[in-house]
């Protein structure tokens, strides 16, 4: 029996997220979360994600340490070992690490702590709970067997408040985590849970977490079992105050310096009325470490980062453009430092052997631009051109777009789930929507209805920010995947998205009649008025896509101080006139 119409209803329900009407429970309480809607006078953009369930709206502001802009003319000295304070414990984001004896402690520019090792962590608060110890606390931490969370599979190995030493990115460790046994759909790996005492040597990173209390908002993957995360790094020697934290997956402790950030590559374009008055909320958005190895965002801490991929892409895309606007220098610096730190974390994940982020519905976008941008800011040739260094590295935007003749007359096609349906050979857009139901009967993975739903709800609307930022910075050559840019141009300027939506809906209506099923047309009418993106992206696109400002010159990072690794020095290229 043909189920095309019923499937369209399903993807429309997913797509209704764009209009802010349907989403998981924890997302419903987000204060003033911005979603693309048609309004007579657009409001300034705000983060698409804030942890509304657990944090007061008034406290959603930057609280990090960045207060100085370090440059080649303003470089902090590298402290001597004896200059660092001796501490028995350190605390960050609600997590306290206690050592077996006083140790030398420093902080990176992001505020994250490091210890000069070797050291031994003998206590963590809140206390990591594992196995029998957790089972004895059933009043607070009951056994959960609901939907995607099935803790009975981990008898004697359940966990809360878990830490992982040196998160792995290959084999089983690539997509699993040892933080909490409520990670949905068996993404918990008890072998990764770090048991006290934890010995750390230089190159080690301890990723510690606080578990969310019961009940979670959902147990199907939309709830977040982890509340807060922090990273403790073990270094061989002190680093200067402008040093970024090495990636938590980088055992080489590769260290970059904020003095080498190429801020001359950033514009100071006039702010449109849809831009926020302050960057504080966005700096807070990237202030804490983002966990980015466990699949589907299941280990993303509620107070640290978004969980769903679309909101990650939106966050990356929005900041990509905000950093090109005329905000006060120190305000931009706070956001820039933490945004680049996310790129450094991603680069460490890649360098450790991670295969990448293959697009899957709304998941896995935003990482490539973060890497390219951070590489340009730091002068790291490999980071700014990740597929030159790692040709097989996968990114959502690249795996979901490909050259091909779409049924709507364009030379680029979209595929929502390339793991199931290769974008190059089998994109549903290669065939007219009137054929989608028949095709799906023969190949259940080639689902035009599903692909169209995700195309409209969770990808196309978020990509314009990062695509325009790449064009502003003339970084298309570093991205090196032309179909992505052609597709975003198609979505924003070429395709009549309402006319193509009507073709899709008419085909679904006809299929429903043939199958004797109820029509989904009434639930799908939002497609006929859907905006192409949010007001801020629309403002920036309309002003700059076809009227790019003169390009800015590109420089390379100067030589790093002794003991701090960095790219080789090169001469600066002159800025374009």
- pLDDT tens, residue by residue, 101-147: 999 999 999 999 999 999 999 999 999 999 999 999 999 999 999 99
* DSSP assignment string, 498-532: HHHHHHHHHHHHHHHHHHT----GGGGGGGGT--S
pLDDT confidence tier of residue 555, bands split at 50, 70 and 90 = very low
User: Nearest CA to 166 among 197, 199, 127, 134?
Assistant: 199
Mean per-residue pLDDT over the chain, rounded: 87
DSSP string, 186-208: TTB-GGGPPPSSEEE-TT-EEEE
Q: Which of 24, 62, 17, 38 is nearest to 462 (CA)?
A: 17
Residue 201 to residues 121, 204, 232, 234, 348: CA-CA distances in angstroms? 11, 6, 12, 6, 18
Contact 399, 390 (CB under 8 A): no
Longest Cα separation, the chain: 80
Q: What is the pLDDT of residue 59?
A: 57
Cβ–Cβ < 8 Å for 247, 254? yes
Going by pLDDT thresholds of 50, 70 and 90, the confidence category of residue 553 is: confident
Quote the tokens at residue 337. 């430092």
pLDDT at residue 526, rounded to an integer? 86
Q: What is the mean pLDDT of residues 488-500?
A: 97
Query: At 243, phi and psi to the nearest 5?
Result: -80, 135
The pLDDT value given to residue 49: 60
- The answer to whether residues 64 and 338 touch, using CB atoms and an 8 Å cutoff, is yes
Residue 573 scores a pLDDT above 70: no
What was the pLDDT predicted at 7? 42
The pLDDT, as a whole number, for residue 554 is: 60
State the pLDDT confidence band at 345, using cuts at 50, 70 and 90.
very high
pLDDT (0 to 100) of residue 577: 24
Whether residue 572 has pLDDT greater than 60? no
3-state secondary structure of 86: strand
How many CB atoms neighbour CB 153 within 10 A? Answer: 12
119 phi/psi in degrees, rounded to 5:
-140, 165
Range in 68-82, 179-193, 325-339, 499-513 with the lowest mean pLDDT: 499-513
| 256, containing H or E segment | none
**pLDDT value of residue 123:** 98
Computed on alpha carbons and rounded to an integer, the radius of gyration of the chain in Å comes to: 24
3-class state of residue 41 by DSSP = coil
Question: What's the token pair of residue 354?
Answer: 């991670």
Report the pLDDT value the prediction gives residue 61, as an integer from 0 to 100. 85
Structure tokens at 395: 């990114």
The answer to whether 463 and 491 have CB atoms below 8 angstroms apart is yes
Task: Give Cα 109 to chain centroid, integer Å.
Answer: 21
Q: State yes or no: pLDDT of 62 exceeds 70.
A: yes
Residue 470 has pLDDT above 60, yes or no: yes
Task: Identify the weakest region by mean pLDDT among 268-277, 281-290, 438-447, 470-479.
Answer: 438-447
Q: Is the pTM of this model over 0.85?
A: yes
Residue 521 is predicted with a pLDDT of: 66
pLDDT reading at 299 higher than 50? yes
In the three-class reduction of DSSP (H, G, I as helix; E, B as strand; rest coil), residue 87 is classed as strand
Q: Is the C-alpha dihedral spanning 558, 107, 291, 302 positive or negative?
A: negative
Q: Which two tokens stand for residue 390?
A: 């790692």
Handedness of CA 529, 499, 496, 457 (dihedral sign): positive
Q: What is the pLDDT of residue 42?
A: 53
Helix axes 463-472, 367-378, angle to 10 degrees: 20
* Dihedral pair phi/psi, residue 244, rounded to 5°: -75, 155
Q: Where are the domains of the chain?
A: 1-60+261-549, 77-253
The pLDDT value recorded for residue 302 is: 92
pLDDT in tens, 11-40: 433 333 333 322 222 222 222 223 222 223
Nearest CA-CA partner of 208 in 74, 76, 112: 112
> Which residues lie across from 356 on neighbouring strands?
394
Lowest mean pLDDT, pick from 108-117, 204-213, 334-343, 545-554: 545-554
Q: What are phi and psi of 296, to 5 degrees?
A: 65, 15
For the chain, percent of residues with pLDDT exceeding 90: 76
Look-up of token digits 């000069």 = 116
């Amino acid at each position: 029996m043909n189920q095309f119409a019923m499937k369209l209803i399903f993807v429309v329900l997913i797509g209704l997220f764009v209009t802010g009407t349907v989403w998981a429970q924890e997302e419903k309480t987000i204060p003033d979360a911005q979603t693309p809607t048609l309004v007579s006078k657009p409001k300034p953009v705000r983060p698409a994600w804030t942890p509304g369930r657990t944090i007061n709206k008034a406290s959603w502001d930057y609280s990090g340490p960045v207060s100085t802009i370090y440059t080649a003319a303003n470089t902090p000295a590298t402290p001597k070992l004896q200059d660092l304070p001796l501490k028995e414990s350190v605390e960050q984001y609600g997590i306290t690490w206690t050592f077996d004896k006083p140790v030398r402690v420093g902080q990176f520019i992001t505020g994250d702590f490091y210890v000069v090792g070797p050291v031994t962590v003998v206590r963590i608060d809140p206390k990591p709970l594992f196995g029998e110890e957790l089972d004895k606390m059933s009043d607070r931490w009951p056994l959960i067997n609901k939907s995607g969370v099935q803790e009975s599979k981990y008898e004697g190995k359940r966990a809360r408040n878990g830490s992982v030493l040196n998160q792995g990115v290959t084999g089983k460790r690539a997509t699993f985590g040892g933080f909490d046994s409520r990670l949905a759909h068996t993404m918990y790996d008890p072998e990764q849970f770090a048991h006290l005492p934890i010995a750390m040597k230089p190159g080690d990173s301890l990723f510690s977490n606080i578990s969310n209390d019961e009940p979670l908002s959902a147990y199907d993957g939309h709830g977040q079992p982890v509340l807060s995360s922090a990273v403790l790094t073990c270094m061989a020697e002190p680093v200067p105050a402008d040093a970024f934290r090495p990636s938590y997956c980088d055992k080489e402790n590769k260290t970059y310096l904020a003095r080498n950030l190429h801020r001359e590559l950033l514009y100071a374009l006039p702010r449109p009325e849809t831009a926020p008055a302050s960057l504080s909320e966005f700096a807070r958005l990237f202030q804490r470490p983002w966990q980015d190895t466990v699949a589907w965002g299941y280990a993303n801490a509620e107070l640290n980062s978004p969980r769903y991929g679309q909101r990650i892409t939106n966050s990356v895309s929005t900041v990509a453009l905000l950093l090109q606007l005329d905000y006060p220098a120190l305000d931009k610096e706070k956001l820039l430092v933490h945004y680049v730190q996310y790129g450094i974390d991603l680069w460490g994940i890649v360098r450790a052997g991670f295969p990448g982020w293959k697009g899957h519905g709304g998941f896995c976008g935003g990482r490539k631009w973060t890497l390219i941008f951070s590489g340009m800011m730091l002068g790291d040739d490999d980071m700014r051109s990740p597929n030159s260094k790692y040709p097989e590295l996968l990114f959502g935007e690249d795996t979901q777009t490909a050259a091909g003749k779409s049924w709507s007359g364009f030379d680029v096609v979209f595929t929502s789930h390339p793991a199931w349906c290769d974008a190059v050979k089998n994109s549903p857009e290669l065939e007219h929507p009137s054929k989608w139901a028949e095709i799906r009967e023969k190949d259940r993975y080639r689902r035009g209805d599903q692909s169209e739903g995700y195309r409209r709800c969770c990808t196309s609307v978020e990509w314009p920010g990062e695509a325009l930022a790449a064009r502003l910075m003339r970084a298309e050559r570093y991205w090196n995947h032309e179909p992505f840019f052609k597709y975003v141009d198609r979505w924003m300027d070429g395709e009549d998205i309402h006319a193509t939506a009507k073709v899709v809906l008419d085909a679904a209506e006809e299929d429903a009649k043939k199958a004797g099923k109820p029509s989904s047309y009434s639930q799908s009418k939002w497609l006929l008025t859907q905006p192409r993106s949010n007001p801020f992206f629309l403002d920036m696109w309309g002003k700059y896509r076809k009227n790019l400002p003169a390009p800015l010159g590109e420089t390379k990072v100067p030589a790093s101080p002794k003991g701090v690794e960095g790219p080789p020095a090169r001469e600066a290229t002159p800025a374009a006139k």
